């Protein structure tokens, strides 16, 4: 008796077949993000256009109400922050059939992890680069501006300039408290503050006796790169902290990296297309083309809500 032609195929059972490549890459992407998880994220998935206009109203002040007088009206010409969605990055591999047949299954895991890592690094790099636009900074590659500081090993926090950071100018509790005060003076909200540091600063922090106390450090590691909290500010480690001055340009010492101490609203990340993965068989190459990509834009939202702290590495 014939069995008929009602076969279960990949087409009829497509809903049961997981998109492993896509899922694994998204997981790796999320796992490797540090700064992107700390800033203001604005989802734009499915929305058209290449520019976002975010209102930036001016804070008002309270006025004294005198008896039998009109109230004091507040009128301000409000400004806006314009975020351009102009960043489109991709990661692609062309995998030949013979390689896919003969390679270990760990090859796919490497490629998915690598794709997620590469795209996450790019997003974090673009956010770190916004450090040149804090304070009165004009962007580009100039890290010398009103919101850029370094730690004078003897006197605490000091204004950053080229050829000033020596190898002895390491992280200190005094300088950290002074940096926190700068945010306080700028009326930056107490909640949602963060400090992102390179591994060299983590090593220094671990050597400060008072920071290993449970009163200062919460070591539960509940977020990517998080090592604890100091004075209510979550501390994160990232190898993406940018080199703002090379050893060749710094006659006072080695490479100088920039830490970011700030609030969630300092930067905005607008994602128009989250990480997407696609595969296509290319018969002319007898290969599978695998591509992951993402579309986004970044911008400084509040210039006074974050600081750059230059440290030696």
Q: Where are the domains of the chain?
A: 18-57+75-313
Q: Look at residue 20 in the predicted model and tell me its pLDDT.
A: 59
Can you spell out the DSSP letters for the chain?
----S----TTTTGGGS--HHHHHHHHHHHHH-SGGGTSEEEE-TT---SEEEEEEPPPP------TTSPPPP-----EEEEEE--EEEEEEEEEEHHHHHHS-THHHHHHHHHHHHHHHHHHHHHHHGGGGGSTT--STT---STTEEEEETTTEEEE--TT---TT----HHHHHHHHHHHHHTT--STTEEEEE-HHHHHHHTT-GGGGSTTT------STTEEEEETTEEEEE-TT--EEE-TTT-TTSS-EEEEEEEEGGGEEEEEEEEEEEEEEEETTTTEEEEEEEEEEEEEES-TTSEEEEEEE-
Could you give the maximum distance between any two Cα atoms of the chain, in Å? 101
Residues of the chain with pLDDT under 50: 1, 13, 15-18, 219, 221-222
Instruction: Say if residues 256 and 245 touch (Cβ distance below 8 Å).
Output: yes
Q: Look at residue 26 in the predicted model and tell me its pLDDT.
A: 85
Give residue for tokens 């005198």: 66
Q: What is the CATH number of domain 18-57+75-313?
A: 3.90.1690
Instruction: Say if residues 42 and 84 touch (Cβ distance below 8 Å).
Output: no
Over the range 286-295, which residues count as b (16 or more CB within 10 Å of their CB) and which as e?
A: ebbebebbbb
- CA nearest neighbour of 225 among 124, 74, 100, 311: 124
Which tens digits make up the pLDDT trace of 41-66?
998 887 888 998 988 888 888 999 99
Q: Look at residue 222 in the predicted model and tell me its pLDDT.
A: 41
């Amino acid at each position: 008796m014939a069995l008929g032609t009602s076969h279960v195929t990949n087409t009829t059972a497509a809903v049961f077949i997981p998109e492993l490549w896509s899922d694994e890459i998204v997981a790796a992407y999320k796992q490797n993000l540090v700064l992107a998880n700390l800033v203001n994220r604005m989802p734009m998935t499915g929305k058209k256009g290449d520019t976002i206009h975010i209102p930036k109203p001016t804070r008002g002040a309270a006025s004294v109400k005198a008896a039998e007088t009109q109230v004091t009206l507040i009128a301000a010409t409000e400004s806006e922050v314009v975020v351009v969605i102009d960043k489109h990055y991709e990661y692609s591999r062309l995998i030949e059939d013979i390689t896919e047949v003969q390679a270990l299954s760990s090859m796919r895991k490497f490629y998915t992890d690598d794709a997620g890592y590469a795209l996450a690094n790019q997003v974090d790099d673009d956010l770190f680069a916004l450090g040149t636009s804090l304070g009165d900074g004009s962007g580009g590659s100039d890290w010398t501006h009103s919101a850029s500081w370094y730690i004078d090993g003897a006197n605490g926090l000091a204004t950053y300039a080229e050829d000033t950071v020596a190898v002895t100018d390491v992280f200190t509790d005094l300088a950290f408290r002074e940096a926190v005060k700068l945010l306080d003076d700028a009326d930056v909200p107490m909640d949602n503050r963060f400090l992102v540091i390179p591994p060299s600063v983590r090593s220094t922090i671990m050597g400060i006796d008072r920071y290993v106390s449970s009163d200062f450090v919460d070591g539960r590691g509940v977020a990517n790169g998080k090592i604890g909290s100091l004075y209510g500010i979550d501390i994160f480690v990232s190898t993406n902290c940018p080199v703002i001055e090379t050893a060749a340009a710094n006659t006072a010492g080695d490479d100088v990296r920039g830490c970011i101490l700030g609030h969630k609203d300092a930067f905005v990340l607008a994602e128009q297309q989250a990480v997407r993965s696609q595969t296509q068989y290319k018969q002319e190459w007898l290969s599978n083309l695998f591509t992951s990509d993402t579309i986004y834009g970044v911008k400084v939202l509040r210039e006074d809500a974050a600081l750059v702290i230059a440290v030696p590495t």
